């Protein structure tokens, strides 16, 4: 995705739609923001004219249109059957978010996107549904639905990514697993959810830039491309940080959620989240160790120039090693 005029224009309207949704005072204006966000993201997905991006854009449009229609339908039922309307609205927002049990479209759409569009789908496109779910949680008694969706997202995201060979689908199931953590954080604190989302977005950005820099889309690309040693090490640490392994930065928001869940006594949910995190670390380590230790000299292909990427490496190193400074900051406070 290049920085052309129409890309900047559509990305600006995409952000505008997100801001309109999260700042709206009615479900109708929130629906308008979601529609503006949807119609702005479709052209960004079609910047590369091939059958995979076209198929991904079509799937995304159909699924998001279904979610938008459910939002409108639930809003029309709000005055007549408020209980049923809240459940339908919750399912519509989970569908738009890509969480389980309505996750089926997310890995398929991710598999047909380039890395910049995939990063937008994993981060910016989740902002509006997450904030609307926070509003929905404060409206009625929805704890059981958030509890079930959080557990299912954590389990599906962990199990679904085990046998994947596509790096985009690995990050897609990783995102579904992180959605489980975000939904569980809504049960205890909206601020914790916001902190978790920011950490997840920055760590995911460091990994996506690495894969985009080398144009790696499958596991065998990590063997056939000539990665510099410093890029391999940064990829290794970034994936461990995304998995939440201490003392990397990705463990900090999970540490906050663990403390909050222990404080409210949600031990069942906590055990499921921690067990799913261990499974996700397995396929993170598979990707990281394959890129770090294995190579195929007969298929070595050098992609891109390392000079421009070296400017970003200090920032990505700081992002993933910021967790090392947190204990010292806590002691100072």
pLDDT for 323:
64
Q: Return d(Cα 209, Cα 318) in angstroms, integer.
A: 15
pLDDT for 310:
61
Q: Return d(Cα 182, Cα 200) in angstroms, integer.
A: 10
Q: How confident is the model at residue 174 (pLDDT cuts 50, 70, 90)?
A: very high
Asked if residue 217 has pLDDT above 90, the reply is: no
In whole numbers, what is the pLDDT of the chain averaged over residues?
A: 83
pLDDT for 233:
78
Q: Report CA-CA distances (Å) from 317 to 199, 241, 329.
A: 14, 11, 18
For 104, phi then psi, to 5°, come to -60, -30
Q: Return d(Cα 184, Cα 261) in angstroms, integer.
A: 8
pLDDT for 24:
86
pLDDT for 2:
55
Q: pLDDT, tens digit, for every residue of 300-312? A: 444 444 445 566 6
pLDDT for 299:
44
pLDDT for 305:
46
Number of domains, the chain: 1
Tell me the Cα Rg of the chain.
20
Asked if residue 214 has pLDDT above 90, the reply is: no
- For 74, the domain range is 5-332
Q: How confident is the model at residue 206 (pLDDT cuts 50, 70, 90)?
A: confident
234 or 197: whose pLDDT is higher?
A: 197
What is the token pair recorded at 212? 């985009």
Q: pLDDT, tens digit, for every residue of 76-124? A: 888 888 888 899 999 999 999 998 889 999 999 998 898 999 999 999 9
């Amino acid at each position: 995705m290049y920085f052309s005029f129409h890309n900047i224009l559509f990305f600006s309207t995409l952000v505008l739609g997100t801001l309109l949704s999260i700042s709206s005072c009615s479900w109708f204006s929130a629906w308008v923001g979601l529609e503006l966000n949807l119609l702005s993201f479709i052209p960004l997905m079609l910047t590369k004219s091939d059958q995979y991006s076209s198929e991904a854009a079509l799937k995304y449009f159909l699924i998001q249109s279904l979610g938008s229609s459910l939002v409108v339908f639930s809003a029309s039922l709000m005055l007549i059957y408020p209980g049923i309307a809240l459940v339908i609205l919750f399912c519509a927002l989970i569908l738009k978010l890509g969480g389980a049990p309505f996750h089926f479209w997310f890995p398929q759409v991710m598999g047909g996107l380039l890395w910049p569009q995939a990063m937008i789908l994993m981060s910016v496109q989740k902002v509006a549904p997450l904030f609307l779910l926070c509003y929905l949680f404060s409206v009625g008694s929805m704890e059981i639905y958030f509890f079930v969706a959080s557990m299912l997202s954590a389990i599906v995201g962990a199990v679904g990514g085990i046998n994947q060979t596509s790096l985009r689908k690995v990050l897609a199931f990783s995102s579904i697993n992180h959605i489980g953590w975000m939904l569980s954080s809504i049960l205890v604190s909206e601020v914790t959810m916001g902190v978790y989302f920011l950490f997840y977005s920055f760590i995911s950005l460091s990994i996506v830039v690495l894969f985009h820099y080398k144009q790696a889309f499958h596991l065998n690309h990590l063997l056939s491309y000539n990665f510099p040693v410093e890029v391999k090490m940064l990829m290794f640490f970034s994936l461990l940080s995304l998995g939440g392994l201490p003392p990397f930065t990705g463990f900090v928001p999970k540490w906050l959620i663990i403390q909050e869940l222990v404080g409210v006594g949600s031990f069942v949910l906590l055990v499921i989240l921690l067990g799913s995190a261990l499974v996700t670390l397995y396929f993170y380590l598979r990707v990281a160790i394959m890129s770090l230790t294995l190579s195929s000299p007969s298929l070595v292909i050098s992609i891109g120039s390392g000079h421009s990427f070296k400017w970003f490496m200090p920032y990505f190193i700081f992002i993933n090693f910021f967790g090392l400074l947190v204990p010292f900051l806590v002691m100072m406070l």
